[in-house]
Structure 1
Amino acid sequence: MSDLLPALSLDGVRRVLCVVAHPDDVEYGTSSAVAAWTAAGVEVSYLLLTRGEAGMDSSPPERTAQVRTREQVAGAAEVGVTDVVFAEHPDGVLVYGLDLRRDIARRIREVRPDTVVTGSWEVEGFVGLNQADHRAAGLASVDAVRDAGNRWVFGELLDDGLEPWEVTRLLVAGDSRPTHGVDVGGEPLRRGIASLEAHAEYLAGLPGHPAPADMLPFIAAMQGRAMGVEHAVLFRVHDLQGPPPELRDELARRGMTPPDEPTG
């Protein structure tokens, strides 16, 4: 039996919403997968919870917000995404709580995606300790996908004409326990590199930051080995309409059939 991770199926995937804390968060790898999805006809939207205004030490927040907003929109366009919304939470002090959950749930009901993508909320990640805003964004996204489907949570959304919406899958990028991957070899990786390069002014202010054309292929090659391909982006997939993998495996071991569920 192969230990390689399976490819993420696009069966039934029509619309994806990516929820992250800052401009450039999607571009550190995930955007290559986005390029593969948009090339296959999937509609992808971005929700940025902040404008990244605290991210450039040499630039005042007001100017930085303008720079990073402009660069994010340009980076998204490189991978076929034109629907980019900013939620206007303050950068660097993103707080997990009801306001954040409500804003994400609102956008889910507006976009009506079958799949939501966010980043890991683990404290320790692939590149070291995970930044606080990233953790808050990921955890709030987990809860917001449920909030979006619950008529009796955030009733003000109903007042605004936003009916409940059930998300089918949650994909977590950067999770230490990936379950599936997306082959991004060739054009998707090239476009993903271009999306990060669009953040030129921001990257120029990070001393010693490797060139995107060097860094992203290196990371994608590491992840590709888990799939047996040259370059990949990995995700932990949570099927929101079926049992978790551990329970499914145990049911199978006992000869019991789990409820019908979409393929990974």
Structure 2
Amino acid sequence: MTPEAFRTVYGTVQPLDWLCLAPHPDDAEIGAGGTLIRLSREGRAVGVLELSRGERGTQGTPQEREAECVAAARIMGLAWRGQLGLPDGSLADTPEGAAALAKVLRAVRPRVLVVPHHLDRHPDHFGTYHLAKRALHLAALRKAEVSGEPHRVSRVLLYQGNADIRANLLVDVGAVLPEWEAAIRAHVSQFSGAYISETVTPEIVERRKGRLTYWGTLVRVRYAEAFETEEPLLVDPAGL
């Protein structure tokens, strides 16, 4: 598969309110799943784009992981889920990868883009961040050699993966916690079944839930998902 040949694995290509970039299958669910589910419940068009198929992962095959992505998409109520097909383990800021991602941004035209934090210890995660930066620039340039009409994303949010972040935006996800957990568990090859002992599954979910509890404590809710924005947020004081 060439980098230009992004494809749909669930739903239909359409303008999205929010698009989450996932270096590998399951990253979106773990890092931003609660928020994506809540938005979907509220009638927003939400999508996820996997940049790689996770083909170098220890557990599961690319085919199994794609089927799990479809199952999770149904649980989350996604409008669209796509696959870019870049090489797992080599996600980085390259002209070819950025052009491929810019093509997707022009096709689904998200208002908000959610990407992994650049401080993440996983090379593919911080590689995705830097790749997204270049793609955002290309997608907005009228003279860029990218198919589709130019598109400028209104807001970029960074989600927490494997590193601490200085969160300045928290989302209450308490009402959708069962669906969030179910979406993670849909990735059976990674968190249960023949590959990993069943006893590991609660540990993975509970560790992630601990983060949600911590962030929720700061804003007096039970569970909250954390994001970081690199640009100031304009707030209507009447809503405070």
TM-score in terms of structure 2 length: 0.82
TM superposition shift of 1:206: 4.7
1:140 is matched with 131
2:48 is matched with 46
Q: Which amino acid aligns with 1:196?
A: I
Matched ranges for 1:76-115 at <5 A: 76-115=73-112
Give the distance between the partners of 1:262 and 1:21, measured in 2 at CA: 31
Give the distance between the partners of 1:262 and 1:50, measured in 2 at CA: 36
TM superposition shift of 1:84: 1.1
* Larger Rg, first or second structure (1 or 2): 1
Percent identity for Structure 1 against Structure 2 = 28
1:6 is matched with none
Matched ranges for 1:18-37 at <5 A: 18-37=20-39
CA displacement 1:93-145 (0-9 Å, x = unmatched): 223211221121111100011100111111xx4xxxx1111111111112222
Q: Which amino acid aligns with 1:117?
A: V
TM superposition shift of 1:40: 1.0
Per the alignment, in what secondary structure is the counterpart of residue 100 of structure 1? helix
- Which has the higher mean CA deviation after the structures are superposed, 26-35 or 213-222? 213-222
Give the distance between the partners of 1:85 and 1:139, measured in 2 at CA: 20
Q: Which amino acid aligns with 1:185?
A: G
TM superposition shift of 1:199: 0.5
TM superposition shift of 1:68: 0.7
Give the distance between the partners of 1:215 and 1:200, measured in 2 at CA: 17
Give the distance between the partners of 1:104 and 1:111, measured in 2 at CA: 11
Is the CA contact 1:29–1:220 (under 8 Å) kept in the aligned structure 2? no
Q: Which amino acid aligns with 2:207?
A: M
CA displacement 1:206-232 (0-9 Å, x = unmatched): 567442553343221012123221100
Is the CA contact 2:191–2:201 (under 8 Å) kept in the aligned structure 1? no
2:115 is matched with 118
Give the distance between the partners of 1:29 and 1:97, measured in 2 at CA: 24
CA displacement 1:29-48 (0-9 Å, x = unmatched): 41111011111111011111
Per the alignment, in what secondary structure is the counterpart of residue 28 of structure 1? helix
Per the alignment, in what secondary structure is the counterpart of residue 145 of structure 1? helix
Selected match of 2:173 from 173, 184, 191: 184
1:7 is matched with none
Give the distance between the partners of 1:191 and 1:115, measured in 2 at CA: 22
Matching of residue 173 in structure 1 with residue 166 in structure 2: no
Give the distance between the partners of 1:164 and 1:66, measured in 2 at CA: 33
Give the distance between the partners of 1:104 and 1:93, measured in 2 at CA: 15
1:233 is matched with 225
Give the distance between the partners of 1:74 and 1:220, measured in 2 at CA: 23
Give the distance between the partners of 2:113 and 2:205, measured in 1 at CA: 27
Per the alignment, in what secondary structure is the counterpart of residue 28 of structure 2? coil
Is the CA contact 2:92–2:130 (under 8 Å) kept in the aligned structure 1? no
Is the CA contact 2:92–2:131 (under 8 Å) kept in the aligned structure 1? no
